Amino acid sequence: MTIRKLVIPGKPLGKQRPRVLKTGIAYTPKETVHYETFVKMLYLEKYAGVKPFEGPVAVEIVALYEIPRSANKRRKEAMRRGAIKPTVRPDVDNILKIVTDALNGVAYLDDKQIITCWVNKCYAAAPAVHVTIIELNEGEG
């Protein structure tokens, strides 16, 4: 079983819906394209020369949100302990989508190989997204 980890610094971002012009032409918003490119470049920099996984994989994503400055001392401590979780945007499904789409073709051949996934949102001192990709042997999962 092989495990690869990646830390994406900065505020978690979710996959945005494609925009459609009056002419009927659809396009992906720039923010989504930039973030996916950033994630792909981070992965390629860390795992240069490493072949993508070819079999089934599991993906774990932990989205870390900065503790709001406006929160009082008691709430900040509860956020640090994990007693209070972020119920803010983006949604976990959009976080999963943007990260797995960005790693498509570089971490694994195709995102159809993902058979299990976990996404968690927490508060932390610094915002980031932690990604763990676990290669599963046939029959695991």
Backbone CA torsion sign across 50, 53, 58, 64? positive
Q: Which pLDDT score, from 0 to 100, does residue 28 have?
A: 87
Please, what CATH class does the domain formed by 3-135 belong to? Answer: alpha beta
Q: DSSP 3-state assignment of 133?
A: strand
**Per-residue confidence of the chain (141 residues) as pLDDT tens digits?**
899 999 999 999 999 988 899 999 998 899 999 999 999 999 999 999 999 999 999 999 999 999 999 999 999 999 999 999 999 999 999 999 999 999 999 999 999 999 999 999 999 999 999 999 999 986 556
What order of strands is seen across the sheet that includes strand 3-9? 3-9, 128-135, 57-66, 114-124
Which DSSP string do the residues of 33-79 spell out, in sequence order? HHHHHHHHHHHHHHTTTPPPB-S-EEEEEEEEEEPPTTS-HHHHHHH
72-105 burial, b at 16+ Cβ within 10 Å, e below that, comes to: eeeebebbeeeebebeeebebebbbbbbbbbbbe
Q: Which pLDDT score, from 0 to 100, does residue 27 have?
A: 86
**What's the predicted TM-score (pTM) here?**
0.92
* Side chain identity at residue 108, one-letter code: Y
Q: Which pLDDT score, from 0 to 100, does residue 137 have?
A: 82
The residues spanned by each domain of the chain are 3-135
